Amino acid sequence: MVILSTVLIPAGIAAGLYLIRKQREYSWGWVHKQHDLRGKIFIVTGANTGLGFETTRGLVKRGATVILACRNLRKANEAIEKIKAEFKSGEMIAMELDLANFDSIRKFVKEIKEKVPKFDCLINNAGLAVQDEQLTADGIELHTGTNHIGPFMLTNLLMDDIKRNNARVVIVSSKMHERATVDFETFGKYSPKPAGERSNHLYNNSKLMNFYFAKELYKRGIDVHVCCPGLCNTDFFRDYDPKFYHYVLFSPVILFMLRSAEQGSQNILFCALENVNTDDQNPDKSYIIYDCKQHKSKIDLSDDVSEKLWIESAKLCGIIKEIH
Ligand SMILES: NC(=O)c1ccc[n+]([C@@H]2O[C@H](COP(=O)([O-])OP(=O)(O)OC[C@H]3O[C@@H](n4cnc5c(N)ncnc54)[C@H](OP(=O)(O)O)[C@@H]3O)[C@@H](O)[C@H]2O)c1
Ligand SMILES: *[C@@H]1O[C@H](CO)[C@@H](O)[C@H](O)[C@H]1NC(C)=O
C-alpha cells in the first residue's frame, strides 16, 4: 500500500502529464521538410534572441544566408557565434536595425540596397510588450511604433526590391489581434488601459495592425504570410518580472500551452518556406498560420480600416510620397 501511494500513483500522474504534454507538442506542428536553402537570402528582424533566433537557426541549418537585423550588433554577433558552433551550413551577416527609430530604418534600407539588393524573404519578427508609457525615438507610442510602424516603414522602403525579386514577406502577429481595435483618434499615441483591464490593449492593438497591414500588402500582390507562433518561452516577458507565485498559478498554462522558442518558430518557418495556397483557401485574405496550419482569422478585416491605416501609417512615418 505504501508503495502504491508513494511511488505508483505519483509515477502514474507524471506519466499521464508527460503524455498529455507530448500530445500537445504534436498538435503544435513542425516543419519536417529539409528544404535546400543554399543561395537563398532571408532578412530576419529581431534575430538575436527568442523566435527570431530560432527562425535563423532553422534557416541556416538548411543552408540559407540570413541577415540578422538587430538593434544591438553585439547581441547579433553572439547569436551568430552560437549558431556557427552548431552548423557548418549557411551564412550569417549582422546588420544594425532599430525599428523604433526612423533614421535607423533608413540607414538599414540603404545598406541593404547597397549590399543585398536581391533577397528572397523578409521576416518581420521583432516586437515587444512593455508595462508603462514609453515612446520611440520619434515620439510614437512604443508598441505601435515598434510592432507596426517600424515594420510598415521598413517593408515599404524595400518595396521595389521585394517586387523585383518576388520576395515573400512574413509578418509575426499574434492571436491577441482577435480582441483589439484600431482607434484612429489615439493612433500613435499612448492611451491608458480601460478601467478594470489587466491585459495590454496597446500590444493587442499593434498586433491587429500587423493583420491589416498584411491585408493591404496582399491586395497589392505581395506574397505575404501572417502567423501566430503561440505562447512561447522567450525573452518576450522581460518587462513583466514574474514572481514565484505566478509560476505556481500558471503551471497548468506552462505545462499545456507554453511552447519552446524552437517549437513556436516552426510557424514562422512554415510561413517562410511552405507553399501556402492563400488564394484558394482564403479569398477574403484574412488567414493566419498557427500550429503550422492555415486558419481563418476570427475577426472580419474591414477594407475601410486597412486602407485608412495604410495612409495614416505612411503619414506617421513620413513616407507618404515614397509609397505606392
Ligand atoms: N513569445 C510569445 O509568446 C509570442 C506570442 C505571440 C507573438 N509573439 C511575437 O513574436 C515576435 C518575437 O517575439 P519573441 O517572443 O521572440 O520575443 P523576444 O525574445 O523578446 O525577442 C524580440 C526580438 O525583437 C527585438 N526588438 C525589440 N525591439 C526592437 C527594435 N526597436 N528594433 C529592432 N529589434 C527589436 C529584440 O531585440 P533585443 O534583444 O535587442 O531587445 C529581440 O531580438 C514578436 O513580434 C511578438 O509579438 C510572441
Ligand atoms: C488582448 O487579447 C487577449 C487574447 O485575445 C484577450 O484575452 C484580452 O482581453 C485582450 N485585451 C484587451 C485589452 O482587449
CA distance 152 to 125: 12
Closest Cα to residue 261, out of 32, 27, 51? 51
Q: How far is the centre of ligand 1, averaged over its atoms, from the C-alpha of 9 (Å)?
A: 41
Mean of the per-residue pLDDT values of the chain: 93
Is residue 96 classed as helix, strand or coil in its secondary structure? strand
Lowest mean pLDDT among 18-22, 105-109, 155-159: 18-22
Position 279 pLDDT exceeds 80: no
Residue 302's alpha-carbon distances to 1, 230, 284, in angstroms, are 64, 25, 10
pLDDT band at 244 (very low <50, low <70, confident <90, very high): confident
pLDDT for the residue numbered 1: 66
Q: Is the pTM here over 0.85, yes or no?
A: yes
What is the total count of domains within the chain?
1
Q: Phi and psi for 113 in degrees, rounded to 5? A: -60, -35
Q: Is 65 inside a domain boundary?
A: yes
pLDDT band at 192 (very low <50, low <70, confident <90, very high): very high
Q: Is 198 inside a domain boundary?
A: yes
pLDDT for the residue numbered 278: 59
Q: Is 324 inside a domain boundary?
A: no
Q: Is 323 inside a domain boundary?
A: no
Position 104 pLDDT exceeds 70: yes
Check if 203 is active-site.
Answer: yes
Of the residues 203, 212, 218, 290, only one is catalytic, namely: 203
**Which amino acid residue places its CA nearest to atom 3 of ligand 2?**
176
Is 67 a pocket residue for ligand 1 (Cβ < 6 Å)? Answer: no
Q: Is 69 inside a domain boundary?
A: yes
Q: Which domain does 56 fall in, by range?
A: 36-316
Is 145 a pocket residue for ligand 1 (Cβ < 6 Å)? Answer: no
Indicate the Cα dihedral angle 62, 118, 107, 64, nearest 10°: 10
Q: Phi and psi for 241 in degrees, rounded to 5? A: 45, 65
Q: Is 27 inside a domain boundary?
A: no
CATH code for the domain of 257: 3.40.50.720
